[in-house]
Structure 1
Amino acid sequence: MNYFVFFIGIIVLLVTAADLINTSLSVRGAGFITKRLSKSIWSVLLTINKKMGRRKVLEIGGAVILVSILINWLLLIWISASLLFISQPDSLMNVETNSPTTVVNKIFYTGYTLSTLGLGDIEPEGNFWDILTAILSFTGLILISIAITYLIPVVSAEITKRKISVTINTIGGSVEEMLLNYWDGKDFKELERPFFPLINSIILHAQNHKAYSVLHFFHSSDKREAFVLNITNLDELLTVLLHNIPEEQRPAYNVLIRLRKAISSYLITLPATYITPGKKTPPILLLTALENKGIKIISGEMVDLEYEKLRTRRRLLLSLIKDDGWEWTDLKCGSYNHEITMDKTN
């Protein structure tokens, strides 16, 4: 037996199993292999988008990465298990010719064993290989089942994410639009009504994102549905309400802080997808439209100091936007019209 090949197979199989279990059954996010594979594919798609301007490429990114993760697991399990049989020339015998099988035969046999189908004309030679075949059959059934069932909660979590994004967009397609939509001539306290349900929804998404970091790579080319744009607009809205709007005109402080903390619970999951604050700080929003409406806007050194304290947070939001293929200027993403118009077709 070639012990080097045998132990390489064992190590690769254990590492793959650990990555699969950590990714699909743990709430800590993707495993070592899956995390790097996902980011590598997404980086390639981002490069294609930047050079060719084809945002549709990013739209299929989530599906491509999800399928790639599944294929990667299956191939690594198959390859590592094949190495175990390849390590000994006569580990498998051809029943018809009573001779050792070739490397190709061993690979085919391993595939059939992992899928629990079996291969009638090839049999293990000796008790050790009989037991190993049984172990691999059970292992393959369990790991492959886990890998496939991983897809279902990811798709469900993505639907939840899009629901949150559209909900935020119904408040307004930009910070100024959100504020103008909920200005009743005296204050912005009406914002409390849409804020309450968003708190729990964003916390749920934060936990989903922590458990399934592949969610980050599901992209919408429609700005109105783009989660990163809408969540950034919401966070910038809270910043304006907390620091640029007089206290008596704000929604209840505890509502603002709870929503801010909910968004923070999402932002702290971003390093798992290699998103960290950059060196550039996004510009402070100009609230000209509000001033034109006669709404009092607080400004000055104290406000600038508060924004400086939020520098890391706002830089992280900028990195998040860029990693999804957008720019800070895309934050004016527009909102859904309350009237539906359909193109007439013959």
Structure 2
Amino acid sequence: MSETLLILGFIILLIAIHDFFYTTLSASGAGFISENVAILSDRILQFCVGIFGRKLYNYHGLFINLMILAVWLSMIWFGLFLVYSSNPEDITNSSGRVANFWERLYFTGYILSTLGMGNFKPISPFFELVTSCFSFFGFIFFTSSMTYFLSVSSAVVKKRTLAKSIHNLGNSPQAIANKLLRLDSPYSYLQILDLQEKVDEHSVSHQAYPVVHYYSRSQVKDSFSINITRLDEALSILLKSNKGENFREELKILRSSLSDFLRNLDKNFSRSLPKAEVSPGNEDLPRSLTQRNSQELVERRRILGSLLRSEGLSWHQVVEQDQES
């Protein structure tokens, strides 16, 4: 028996299984492997967007999820294959012939797919126990993956609902601010409360399922980054003006929810977000946004600018009317 292959195989299995369970079941973020695969996949897709256009953003999150799933499956398949290869004489067919390289690879995949053992079988007690464990694990792997993807899909729907709710208020920061001021005070209060709850819900989902961050839309008007930036700028307008006194406290609560989301974004996604430096006189900002500046606002705009760039957007599109892809 090759102890080196056995140890290496189990190390790969432990790393992959830990990353899989931490990402899918902990609701505390992504594992080390998942996080780095997501960042690499995002860069690949961003490169392809530059060649083929924004329509690829509709496949952004799907592509990253499939890449993560493929890496998990490949590592577990390869690790278990190394374990079986540590003593290949213990895997034979029904006539007692020892399985060759490709047959062991086939046998490993057959075990993980929970289809049984096929026309090969282990003949040592140790490999019989390993086979039993990973047959059971294969079932857990696929059911947990599907449950995880369903949870991600639900979080993505809520993310897009939030973007749609903001867009319905207006397609520029000033338009959103004016809409909230024109509405009756009780209705404005309900709108702000609803937005605050949706922002908090998305912020929690964003931390629990980081892959939600990568789900984008090709149409600019549906983009999460453009709408959340417009909402934040609209709050800057309202909080720095003398209007909206009847619901100022509600505006502050919504602003606090957005601040929490931006801090989480800056802390946990700084490696995946493009760099964007925004200063009070930055030429990237439209003139209508350069008249209200503070250090806190500059920091918010730096994070929001990175979020915009991650979806191929700019600050000028934040204030333009009736954006279309």
Length-normalised TM-score, structure 2: 0.89
Post-superposition offset of 1:251: 4.7
Gaps of 5+ in 2: none
Deviation at 1:100, TM superposition (A): 1.6
**1:79 and 2:75 matched:** no
Give, as a single letter, the amino acid of the residue that structure 2 aligns with 1:272.
N
- Check whether the contact 2:278–2:298 (CA below 8 A) recurs between aligned residues: no
Structure with the bigger percentage of helix: 2
Evaluate the alpha carbon distance shift between residue 182 and residue 89 of structure 1 in structure 2; reply closer, same or farther with a 3 A threshold. closer
2:161 to 160, 163, 184: 163
Question: Residue 265 of structure 1: CA displacement?
Answer: 2.5
Aligned counterpart in structure 1 of residue 259 of structure 2, from 235, 239, 264: 264
Counterpart secondary structure, 2:27: coil
Is the Cα contact below 8 Å between 1:169 and 1:335 reproduced in 2?
no
1:328 matched to 2:315: yes
CA distance in 1 between counterparts of 2:247 and 2:254 reads 11
Equivalences for residues 2-21 of structure 1 within 5 A: 2-21=2-21
Q: Flag the 1:200–1:249 CA change in 2: closer, same or farther, 3 A.
A: closer
User: Residue 68 of structure 2 corresponds to which residue in structure 1?
Assistant: 69
Say whether 1:224 aligns with 2:228: no
Using the alignment, how far apart are the partners of 2:9 and 2:313 within structure 1? 43
Cα gap change, 1:109 to 1:170, in 2 (>3 Å) = same
Give the CA RMSD over aligned residues: 2.4
Bigger Rg over Cα: 1
Pick which of 34-43 and 264-273 moved more: 264-273
Q: Percent identity?
A: 28
User: For residues 104-119 of structure 1, what are the structure 2 equivalents within 5 Å?
Assistant: 104-119=102-117
Q: How does 1:1-346 map to 2 (within 5 A)?
A: 1-50=1-50, 52=51, 54-96=53-95, 98-184=96-182, 191-243=188-240, 245-246=241-242, 249-270=244-265, 271-273=267-269, 274=271, 275=273, 278-281=276-279, 286-287=287-288, 304=293, 307-332=294-319, 334=321
- CA deviations 1:15-36 (Å, max 9, x no partner) are 1111111111112211111111
Q: 1:312: Cα distance to partner?
A: 1.7
Structure 1: how far apart are the matches of 2:43 and 2:10? 31
- Confirm or deny: 8 A CA contact 2:274 2:309 kept in the other structure: no
Amino acid of the structure 2 residue aligned with 1:79: F
The answer to whether the 8 A contact 1:235-1:260 is kept is yes
Report the CA distance between 1:188 and its aligned residue. 8.4
* Alpha-carbon separation, structure 2, partners of 1:120 and 1:238: 63
Report how far residue 161 of structure 1 moved: 0.8
What is the deviation of 1:163?
0.7
TM-score norm. by structure 1 comes to 0.84
**Deviation at 1:285?**
6.0
User: How many pairs does the alignment contain?
Assistant: 316
Alpha-carbon distance in 2 for matches of 1:135, 1:249: 62
Q: What is the CA–CA distance in structure 2 between the aligned matches of 1:116 and 1:190, rounded to whole Å?
A: 55
Distance 1:149 1:190 in 2: 37
Deviations 1:101-128 (A, max 9, x none): 1111111111111122123432212211
Partner of 2:220, secondary structure, is coil
Letter in 2 for 1:103: F
Which AA in structure 1 matches 2:73?
L
Note the C-alpha offset of 1:199.
0.8
